[in-house]
Chains A and B, each alone.
Chain A
C-alpha cells in the first residue's frame, strides 16, 4: 500500500494531555546558587534541606530540582530530588509570578550509603552552605490541583506527593484527593505528623502497636475503595517509589479499575 499523504495515516496513540505550561522566564533553567537555610531530619535516613533560590521559578507539585556537587578535583556529580514543599504563595501586590523574586524550596534526600551525592547532603551540608541547583523540572508527574487525585507512594516516593498534599491543604481545596503511603516500619515514615483523614498508611514489615491492619504489602483491598470513589470522578493516579514498588503499585491500581492512561508513574532510580 502506498500512502497518499501523511494526513491519511492512522493516529498514533497518545498518553494524557500536555500538562506542562511553559514557565515564566522561558524554558531554559540555568544553574544557580541555592543557600541552605534549614536542615531537618525526617527519619534516620532522610533529611530535608530548605533552600533559598534567588532566581525563584515557582514549581508545580511533583517537580524536582537537580543538585550538583563538585569534589576537590573538580569532578561534578548531579542528582535529581523531588520538591517536598508546596509552592510559596505569590506575595501580595505582585501582579504575576515573576522569575526574579526568589523562592524557598524543600528537597527531601534519601541517604544511599554508596552514593556520591546523598552522603554529602546528609553528612557535610550545613545551614549557610551554598549548593548549585537547577530547576524546577518535570512536566508529567505534576499536579496542578484541579483534577481529583489518587496519590500512592512507597518510602521516599512520598516526597513529590507531599508537595501535592501540602499545596492542596494550603489552598483549602475541595478537589477529591486520597494519599496512600507504604513504608516498612513506623521509623521509615516521612512527615509523620502530617497525615490526616485523606491518608492511608500501609506498613509492610512492622506496624505501630494496635494498628488495625497487620503488616503486609500494599494490596488491592486497600486501593479498591479509593479507586471506586475517585476513578468515576476522572481522577489521575500518581504512583511514586522504587522501581519495584512503582511497578507493583501501578499494576495494582489498574487491576482495581483505574484506566492505565490515567496513571502517571515516577520510578526513583538508585542514583545516590
Chain B
C-alpha cells in the first residue's frame, strides 16, 4: 500500500477510537519533543503572529510600528511591480516544476533498470539538488550564462554567433533560473526511484506476456501506479518553488534582473522590506504568499481525486 494511503488509513482509524484513551508513552514523547516544540514556538509560530500583526501596520524598522489597517493590502491591488512579480513567479512554478519532475521521472526510470555503478550515478544525480539552492551555485550559474560565460564560449566554439548574455537579457534571464531549478531534480528523483521499486514486477511480466510494448507498459502500469508519488512530489515542489529566493537574488545581482524580468515575489518582498524600509507592506506580501500557496495546494488536492490512484 502506498505511504500516503497508509497515512490516510491511520488517520481515519484513530477517529473511530474512544475520545479519552490514554497513551502512557505520551509524557516521554512530549519530553523528547520539547526542544523542537520550543523552536517551533519561538522561531516559527510567534514570528508568524508578529508578521500577521505587522502586516496591518506601517513599520520602517527604525521607528515603532503604526497601525494602518488594511492599507497595505489596498496598496497591493494597485502595485504593478507586485503583479509583475506574481507573473514571474507563476511562470517559474508552472513551467519549472513540471519540467523538473519530468526530468526526475525520466532519470528515475533509467536508473531503475539497474546497472553497474548505480549507487554512484544516483549520488551524482542527487548532488545538484543538495547544492542547487546555495549561493555558490547561483554565482556560478550567473557566471556561466553571462555574455562571455562558459555556455556562450561553448556555443561560440560550435559556431553560433551574436549570442546574448543569457542572464542579462530580459527575455532569457528567467529561463536560466528555471533551468537551475530543473537541474536540481535529484530529490524528487530519489523519491520516484523508491516509488518505482514498490511496483510489483509481476505486473510487467503479465503485461509482456500479453504482448505490451515497453512504452505501453510505462504509460499503463508505471505511471498510474506512481501517481501518488507524483502527487506528493508535485505538492512539495510547488510549495518550494513559490518560496524561491536565493537563486533569484544572486543570479539577478539582487535587483530582480534586467527590467524586473527575474523579480520573484519573494525578492520583491525582500526589496520592499529591507530596501525601502516598508516592512509592514512586506509582511502583508508574505501573508498573501501564504494564501496563494494554500490555494495552489488546495487545488492540487482537489484535482488529485481525478488522476491519483491509491491502490487500496
Do A and B originate from a single complex? Answer: no
B binding-site residues for A, Cβ under 8 Å:
none
A binding-site residues for B, Cβ under 8 Å:
none
